[in-house]
């Protein structure tokens, strides 16, 4: 329960701060800026890794949980509770943003600027590099420590900075699903629900090819 609670709180913080930055940017006529939004996503993930990384591993993302499970670092019994906690935290964050900003129509929902295929491929590639980084700086299924926080936060900020204007740089089904459900904008949602898990699983294969036994060959039965 403590792990699920940590995932709920961490994902709430991620969605509230990240999509909140998008909403604030729209409400303030661009005062936050795109760079500020990208940094907000990276910094809140860095902060949550330091805050709950030693409790739950600070996945904060169903795609990351699926990636750890595919890499045999996370027991199957933990997958659904983790994902359920992440979705709950994300929905609570988007619900609170709806109360605070009732005039905002999208609440930070991710929408492609170009074609669906372009954003689908981008989301796969972005999540691939994010998960590859996570697998190489984490211990078991735990993202924790100075290296993990800085590396993962930096990758998220970097990818959001250059790809955010094109595909939204979600890399996280919970981050995209929650504002879509609360705002009622479901167009293109399939991209952000399917592409990140594909990218995360592809990263597991790449990590196995590079690191073999050290990465994804030996099962981890407990966190």
Q: Where are the domains of the chain?
A: 2-214
Residue 139 has pLDDT above 60, yes or no: yes
Distance from CA of residue 83 to its chain's centroid? 11
Question: pLDDT band at residue 214, thresholds of 50, 70 and 90?
Answer: low
Residue 148 has pLDDT above 90, yes or no: no
Pair of tokens at residue 9: 């709180």
Question: pLDDT band at residue 221, thresholds of 50, 70 and 90?
Answer: very low
Residue 222 has pLDDT above 60, yes or no: no
78-116 pLDDT tens trace = 999 999 999 999 999 999 999 999 999 999 999 999 999
pLDDT score, position 146: 75
Distance CA 135, CA 63 (A): 13
pLDDT score, position 141: 64
CB 71 within 8 A of CB 216: yes
Distance CA 176, CA 193 (A): 8
Distance CA 84, CA 20 (A): 22
Torsion angle of the four alpha carbons 15, 16, 21, 23, in this order, in degrees rounded to the nearest 10: 100
Burial, 219: exposed, middle or buried (Cβ in 10 Å; 0-12, 13-18, 19+)? Answer: exposed
25-42 pLDDT tens trace = 999 999 999 999 999 999
- CATH H superfamily, domain 2-214: Glycerol uptake facilitator protein. (1.20.1080.10)
């Amino acid at each position: 329960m403590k792990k699920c609670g940590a995932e709920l709180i961490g994902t709430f913080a991620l969605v509230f701060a990240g999509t909140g930055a998008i909403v604030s940017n729209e409400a303030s006529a661009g005062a936050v800026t795109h760079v500020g939004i990208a940094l907000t996503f990276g910094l809140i993930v860095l902060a949550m890794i330091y805050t709950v990384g030693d409790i739950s591993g600070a996945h904060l993302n169903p795609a990351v949980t699926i990636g750890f499970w595919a890499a045999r670092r996370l027991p199957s019994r933990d997958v659904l509770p983790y994902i359920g906690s992440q979705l709950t935290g994300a929905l609570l964050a988007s619900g609170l943003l709806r109360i605070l900003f009732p005039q905002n129509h999208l609440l930070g929902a991710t929408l492609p600027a170009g074609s669906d295929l372009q954003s689908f491929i981008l989301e796969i590639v972005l999540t691939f590099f994010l998960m590859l980084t996570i697998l190489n700086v984490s211990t078991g299924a735990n993202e924790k420590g100075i290296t993990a926080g800085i590396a993962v936060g930096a990758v998220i900020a970097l990818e959001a900075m250059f790809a955010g204007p094109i595909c939204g740089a979600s890399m996280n089904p919970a981050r995209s699903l929650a504002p879509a459900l609360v705002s009622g904008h479901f167009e293109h949602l399939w991209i952000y629900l399917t592409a990140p898990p594909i990218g995360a699983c592809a990263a597991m294969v790449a990590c196995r090819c590079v690191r073999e036994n050290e990465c994804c060959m030996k099962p981890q039965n407990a966190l």
